[in-house]
């Protein structure tokens, strides 16, 4: 296998695995966050605005790690410097 093939295979496999792991972790933790928020809403419905707002802020923070993985995958597929170097 020459270097072009190795770089292509590594980029493709890593991009797929990155997206795979990047969606598993945040999905689990967001599920836990939403379930805790729901149970605290059931206990204290009058604190609903605060709980909802905090929930969304927390969800966005958790989501951002998934976004990091997505950005890395996109870079590997579309803006890969090693691939561009080897193509030339």
Partner 1 sequence: MRLSPDEMIFWQYGFIKLSATIVFTWGLMLLLTVGSKIITHTLSTDHKRSRWQNLLEMVVMGMEKQIEEIGLSQPRKYLGFLGTLFLFVGAASLCTIIPGYEPPTGSLSTTAALALCVFVAVPLFGIEEQGVGDYLKSYIKPTFIMLPFNIISEISRTLALAVRLFGNMMSGAMIIGILLTITPYIFPIIMTVLGLLTGMVQAYIFSILASVYIAAATRVRKPKVEAEVVH
Binding site for partner 1 (CB under 8 A): 53, 56-57, 60, 63-64, 67-68, 70-71, 74, 78-79
Q: How far is the CB of 23 from partner 1 (least distance, A)?
A: 12
- The pair of three-digit structure tokens given for residue 32, joined into one six-digit string: 């836990």
CB atoms closer than 10 angstroms to residue 26: 21
Q: For residues 3 and 44, which CB has a smaller minimum distance to partner 1 in the complex?
A: 44
Q: For residues 13 and 67, which CB has a smaller minimum distance to partner 1 in the complex?
A: 67
- The pair of three-digit structure tokens given for residue 34, joined into one six-digit string: 């939403």
d(CA 87, CA 4): 8
């Amino acid at each position: 296998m020459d270097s072009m093939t190795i770089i292509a295979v590594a980029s493709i496999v890593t991009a797929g695995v990155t997206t795979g792991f990047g969606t598993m972790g945040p999905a689990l933790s967001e599920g836990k966050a939403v379930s805790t928020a729901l149970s605290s809403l059931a206990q204290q419905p009058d604190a609903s605005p605060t709980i909802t707002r905090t929930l969304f802020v927390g969800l966005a923070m958790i989501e951002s790690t998934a976004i990091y993985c997505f950005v890395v995958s996109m870079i590997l597929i579309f803006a890969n410097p090693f691939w561009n170097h080897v193509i030339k």
